[in-house]
Amino acid sequence: MTDHLWLHFARHGAGVTHPIITRGEGVTIFDDRGKSYLDALSGLFTVQVGHGRTELAEVAARQASTLAYFPLWGYATPTAIELAERLAHYAPGEVNRVFFTTGGSEAVETAWKLAKQYFKLTGKPGKHKVISRSIAYHGTTHGALAITGLPSYKAPFEPVTPGGFRVPNTNFYRAPEPFAHDDKAFGRWAADRIAEAIEFEGPDTVAAVFLEPVQNAGGAIPPPPGYFGRVREICDAYDVLLVSDEVICAFGRIGSMFACSSDIGDFGYVPDMITCAKGMTSGYSPLGAMIATERLFEPFNDGSTVFPHGYTFGGHPVSAAVGLANLDIFEREGLNDRVRHHAPAFRATLEKLHDLPIVGDVRGEGYFYGIELVKDKATKETFSDTECERLLHGYLSPALFEAGLYCRADDRGDPVIQVAPPLISGQAEFDTIESILRSVLTEAWARL
């Protein structure tokens, strides 16, 4: 199979082989040998309603036989109209104008381009730079890559698009003194680094800040108390647009349609744009979106001004139909309530792993957790690059999979295990995740 297929973010050659996944059913995936695995990552934070929903396949087939394809380039389609209305209804405040894409990188790219053109149209043409957080992943196209805070992903492609600047993320486990024991003060400090970066770069040059509600890369990093409130204040003070990158967090991952409109924890803020994708269709067909406020749409609503941007497959009629049917399942099965209800038990089950010497931190929200691995619990010392290579790539990833658990061992920041199962999961799945992690992490520690 590796003769022609080039896998994404994957190593090839020198005897490396890759699993072949052939089927999915509920929370379970199967490989070509018929072996089953618990899908504890929802494919890639995507299959919210679980695998094998024939209802979604049937909706796709029906739409394809009615109107398989038409572009949104100056023409609308009924499914795109209806889905846009639905998304606007779920989004907070005046975030209600939907620009469809085919995925997350395109949504992020779209948000940056809109920010730049908006400011050009409204008398602040110098505003073009963007700020994001260290270790955060926002996609792979040149613009999205410039917003991504992972130097190793950018190095092969330097010089990437200029204009991307980084501030610290909110990993409280790694909070610097004197904030290590005060999450509120840490949140204030981290948010204020955004103001500092805007001042440093020049407020007249900064267009937008891109933040995930819970940052994925680095291991499900939640916002400290007060963080987003302070960020909103800063963005308002400097007229900088706040983009909530919810490619992972939207559609139930933390128990709400959009994380920024959630009333749990310290979420609940009104961004200027939301970017989303993945869970909108639960992966049954590709789709993404950038959703903007009335204010941002206004200058394009004069009968002549155009946003010269689009994608052949953006808002594809089949994907939009699948998106609507997927959101119907959310409503019918109460998936957001389900996540909220079960999240404390999921967290408590994962927290049992704290008794292992290699587990430094368990963090996250909803059905989205990161387990940070450390070499020394007392000092929080992390692993060297060589140890990470041996531990994550050499042992953990294959061992977890072999033990029947599909999840992710990630060393884009400090090493973490990421888990984000389909939203239909319950205690049985939480227990399986915990028990496989326990045995494989115990063995990993013994091998160190």
Query: Residue 4: CB partners within 8 Å, gap ≥ 6?
Result: none
Nearer to ligand PLP by C-beta: 214 or 440?
214
Nearer to ligand PLP by C-beta: 291 or 441?
291
Q: Quote the least distance from Cβ 229 to ligand PLP, whole Å.
A: 21
Nearer to ligand PLP by C-beta: 137 or 165?
137
Nearer to ligand PLP by C-beta: 79 or 105?
105
Nearer to ligand PLP by C-beta: 216 or 261?
216
Which H or E element spans position 117? helix 104-121
Q: Quote the least distance from Cβ 305 to ligand PLP, whole Å.
A: 27
Closest CA to 419 of 224, 248, 195: 248
> Whole-angstrom Cα distance, residue 76 to residue 97?
14
Per the CB < 8 A criterion, the answer to whether 440 and 399 are in contact is yes
Q: Quote the least distance from Cβ 242 to ligand PLP, whole Å.
A: 15
Quote the distance between the C-alpha of residue 19 and its chain's center.
Answer: 24
Query: Residue 403: CB partners within 8 Å, gap ≥ 6?
Result: 436, 439, 440
Token pair for 131: 């700020």
Nearer to ligand PLP by C-beta: 183 or 246?
246
Residue nearest to ligand PLP (CB): 104
Token pair for 296: 């941002």
Q: Quote the least distance from Cβ 356 to ligand PLP, whole Å.
A: 27
- Give the residues lining the site for ligand PLP (CB under 6 A): 103-105, 108, 137-139, 212, 216, 245, 247-248, 277
Q: Quote the least distance from Cβ 304 to ligand PLP, whole Å.
A: 32
Please, where are the H alpha helices in 159-290? 183-201, 227-238
Nearer to ligand PLP by C-beta: 110 or 382?
110
Q: Which residues pair with 24 in a beta bridge?
A: 29
Per-residue DSSP letter, 304: S
Q: Quote the least distance from Cβ 194 to ligand PLP, whole Å.
A: 17
Q: Strand 129-133 relative to strand 206-211: parallel, antiparallel, unpaired?
A: parallel
> Whole-angstrom Cα distance, residue 49 to residue 43?
11
Q: Quote the least distance from Cβ 313 to ligand PLP, whole Å.
A: 13
Q: At which residue do the structure tokens 């209600």 appear?
A: 96
